Structure 1
Amino acid sequence: MGSGIGIGLLGLGTVGGGVASILQSPSERHPLVADLKLVRVAVRDLNRPRSVELPNEILTTDPAVVVNDPAVDVVVEVIGGIEPARSLILQAIAAGKSVVTANKAVIARHGEEIADAATKAGVYVLIEAAVGGGIPIIEPLKQSLGGNRINRVSGIINGTTNYILTRMAEEGAAYESVLKDAQELGYAEADPAADVDGLDAADKIAILANLAFGGSVERSAVPTAGISQLQGRDVDYAKQLGYGVKLLAVAERMKPSGEPLPLSLRVQPTLVPNDHPLAGVNGVNNAILVEGDPIGRVMFYGPGAGAGPTASAVVADILNIAGISQATQGDDRLDPLLAASSWRRCVLVDRGEIRQRHYVRFHTQDAPGVIGRIGGCFGDGGVSIQSIVQFNASKAGAEIVVITHEVSQKKMDDALQSIQALPEVSGLAAHLGCL
């Protein structure tokens, strides 16, 4: 790369427009921003109105033109989705160009393939914007915390669901009503499934696990539950018991460690104690808690989405490539995406081996001895109970809420099966995780 670094942009939507805006206004930013030249931009429609004005001659509807332009040194992919994004990233790498991407779906599923290609081609692939929007978490995991034995990474990494859950907790609003508001405000898509079903968070925790534990994990094997079935009464009961409800993504090292390294990953609505660092993360904000040895606990907090935060992370990655390239001209030492995946194998443990605390709510008859029989089933199954509370007792029945101590998922499932067979229990109404 010379003094001017050619940037090719794939996509000019919300994030792409934010990136272009930064590159077109370098004044009072890092001095290197002035060296970044936006030379090619791929768009879907040349005639569509845009938030940022660009010369017509740099626009194209063919992304291959951007990837193959010899004036482009770094390809920025912000079109989203699996294809053609994956193929374009690999084409750019094959053409000897470094890549910056915000695409968590591609990296979660094809990160190892992309990393291998980048290593062989001697280029960089940086992904800071793929997780946590403007929160710097990828580089800290790879570098600043690299000397630690990471034991657990957990977090609130989807702003849409966090906004919905915050409104439900603070206002007692119904899920459907808050979701509609979120869509009108632009926090949720017209089809919100990726967010509310936990799929977006699962992509992100798979990426964080890759980096934290030095090996790739199978994205499709991550147990995932969203908030679309969550009822307001469970948010209310949790509040009465001293908890908030968050859609939590968790990746943790299992004991004993071995080769391949056993990991437990999950995404699910989870009760978070009011004194926990993640409890105060509200609205569209994200937070990621890293726990390791010897660092202890470190939390990264900030805006998790939007044009500004995500574009900030994208440009930071471009500057990282530009700065390193200028400092190491002729040096082949690289730190490509997920470089550590080549030295450790990781495996996700069976769902039944996952250990955590649980919140469960049962519909039951309002009859003497019901709580005792439920407690007995838990005890017989080896499940220790922290608390058991009856709510809303009436002639129509009662609701019994149980919070357990940490237990394996298999023991919990077996105990729940026994409880649901009791004649006094009419159903399992809710089942959430609990910190």
Structure 2
Amino acid sequence: MEMAELTALLTPEGLRLLDAQAPVESSDDVAHAVTRLRRAGHSPELVSAVVGQARLRSRARLKFGDLADRMLFTRAGLEQSTRLSVAVRHAARFREAGVTTVADLGCGIGGDALGLAGLGLRVDAVDADDVTAAVAAFNLAPFGTDTSVRHARAEDVDLSGVYGVWLDPARRTTGRTETSRTEAHEWSPSLDWSFAVADRLPTGIKLGPGLDRNLLPTTGEAQWVSADGSTIELVQWSRELARPGVRRAALVLRGETAHELSAADDAADEPVRTLGAFVHEPDGAVIRARLIGDVARTLDAGMLDPRIAYLTSDSALTSPFVSTFRVRETLPVDEKRLAAALRARDIGRLEIKKRGVDVDPAALRPRLKLRGSASATLILTRVADTRVAILADRV
């Protein structure tokens, strides 16, 4: 969003139009809304701002629920913002550690600051982008003097009198998704600066989950978080915010339910086993935290291959940290023979999962030309350098 659009929006007329706008969820909705508002005589800048915000609010409900309907967003800010349910968990760490005032450095549209303020903490927030800082100030306005937002660089903030810090360094490279691998030089402020702050003050640093683990400090707690099957972030916690004896953690959120696995270090893997009655796929947060071995031991499972994150067992045990599949049989890997085998089994709806093989499931599915009435899961992977195709059913 440009400052001119935000200025047009932050008027009584603009906010009334936005609050009265029906949900905008498709390209057709955009076209209809633009036509209606332009015919009513509103300026192009205001129409663009209102319709753009209405569409972002519709998308934001996935992260912010009904609260999205009273918030403002930038496209990049919404993409990079923390889900409210996760932000509240972050805030709880600070409150439980006795931290009462938090400097939110790189606050974006204010997602984490909402969680902090909502739990009664004072928040001093900054963002290096002037439009984003203005959007955050609007979103945090209901908390009054308990929050402040200003346009500033994180590195320029005076941290004296601050009890804790939340840092969300910006990705310098555009076009990244939540799960993209991001290198050290692609963060602003730099990781060196961020980790130096964490040495001095209780700090949580939100990072991309694919960050090179060798860049993480040797002290503190690294917590990978997944939500509804997507690994969304890595948080490096320091000082009082890091739990004693915990250096690796995987937090798995499924709707309103949370499960966590933690350890003092990376877990040793279990030995390789031959394919059993079940295949288990560890959650992405468990894989990133390298706690696959701990999960395997709870399932009486072993690795299917030492380099690939699939487990196998003969036990019907399952876990919130894995997706479990009951093995039917192995099928030919050759595409033509595989298609024939699936058609012979009346498979028409096929979930395709893969690890360790160069296959694009979206491209493979139409080539299989399936038209049956049954459903199944196809797991494509490698075992001892041999490609295998496992037909299975989700448990």
Instruction: Give the number of the structure with larger relative contact order, counting CA–CA contacts within 8 Å between residues 6 or more apart.
Output: 1
TM-score bracket, shorter-length normalisation: 0.3 to 0.5
